[in-house]
Structure 1
Amino acid sequence: MTGAVIGLDHVQVAAPPGCEEDARRFYGELLGLEELDKPPTLAVRGGVWFRVGEHQLHVGVADGFTPAAKAHPALRVASPAELERLADRLGEHGVHVRWADPGEIPGVSRLFLADPWGNRVELVA
C-alpha cells in the first residue's frame, strides 16, 4: 500500500509531571511556539501542545521520566541569521547551546540544546 502516510502530524517529547509552566516558558516564550488548546479529555493528563508551522510539538507527561539524549525534534528556523539571534536569546536566558560542525551538512546551520528536562532539541536553518 503506497501513499497511505501523507505527512507528519506531531512529534511528542516526554517530560516529568508538573512540567507545564517550564514547557510554556521554554517552548512558548523562548522558542516562540504558539500554544494550542488540548482536547479536554487529554488535558487532564497534563502536558502542553504547541504549533510548529503546519505541525505540532506535544510535551507529554511521563511517570518515571528519563530524558531523551539521542532522539529529538529538529525545529526549522527561518534563516541562519535568525538562528544566530535565537541562540543569543537562549544564551541570555541560561540555555547552553552547542553549534554543530558546519561541515557535517553543507549549507545547513544547526545547533543543539536541552529543554528544561534534559531532552535533546536541534534547531536548523
Structure 2
Amino acid sequence: MIVGLHHAQITIPKGAEKEARHFYCTVLGLEEITKPDALKKRGGFWLQVGDKQVHIGTEEGVDRHITKAHLAYQVTDLFYWKEVLENNNIPILSSVPIPHFERFEFRDPFGNRVEMIKEV
C-alpha cells in the first residue's frame, strides 16, 4: 500500500552543486539536510521542504529546458516569490489558470521547471 510521498528528485549538471546550493538554499531559503555517507560520492545534495524532501541529483546529457516535469512549491505569498525571483534575474513564466489556485512557473538556473502555487 502506498501511504505517501517521501521525496522527489530533480537533477543538475555534475559539478554544479555550489550554484545549486546558492539558488535553492540562499535564494529560495530551503534547508539542506544531511545526505547519507553511502550516497555522497554520487554528488548532489538533499533539501527539506515542509515534511517532504527534495533530492538534487547530478546527471549529464539531459535537456531540462524541454520537459514538463516539475516540482510545485506551495506558498502563502506569490507576489513575494515573484519579487525574489525577478531580483535574482529569474524570468517568470505564465501558467494556465486552474480553479482555486493562483500560480506561476519559472526555470531554475539549470532548466528545471518549477511552479509556485497558492490555494485561494
- TM-score of the pair, normalised by structure 2: 0.91
1:107: which partner in 2? 100
The alpha-carbon deviation at position 48 of structure 1 amounts to 1.3
Of 54, 73, 76 in structure 2, the residue corresponding to residue 75 of structure 1 is 73
Query: Match for 2:28: what amino acid?
Result: L
Structure 1 residues not aligned, in runs of 5+: none
User: In structure 2, do the counterparts of structure 1 residues 60 and 11 end up closer, same or farther at CA, with 3 Å as the change threshold?
Assistant: same
Task: Report whether the alignment pairs 1:7 with 2:11.
Answer: no
How many residues of Structure 1 are paired with residues of Structure 2 in the alignment? 117
Task: Report whether the alignment pairs 1:124 with 2:101.
Answer: no
Query: Match for 1:108: what amino acid?
Result: F
Of 18, 21, 26 in structure 2, the residue corresponding to residue 29 of structure 1 is 26
The alpha-carbon deviation at position 86 of structure 1 amounts to 1.2
Query: Match for 1:69: what amino acid?
Result: T
The answer to whether the 8 A contact 1:23-1:48 is kept is: no
The answer to whether the 8 A contact 1:15-1:59 is kept is: yes
- TM-score of the pair, normalised by structure 1: 0.87
1:66: which partner in 2? 63
CA offsets 1:12-70 (integer angstroms, 9 cap, x no match): 00111012112111111111110011111111111011011000111101132321520
- The more displaced of 43-52 and 62-71 is 62-71
Q: Quick check: which one's strand share is greater?
A: 2
Task: Report whether the alignment pairs 1:17 with 2:32.
Answer: no
Query: Match for 2:100: what amino acid?
Result: G
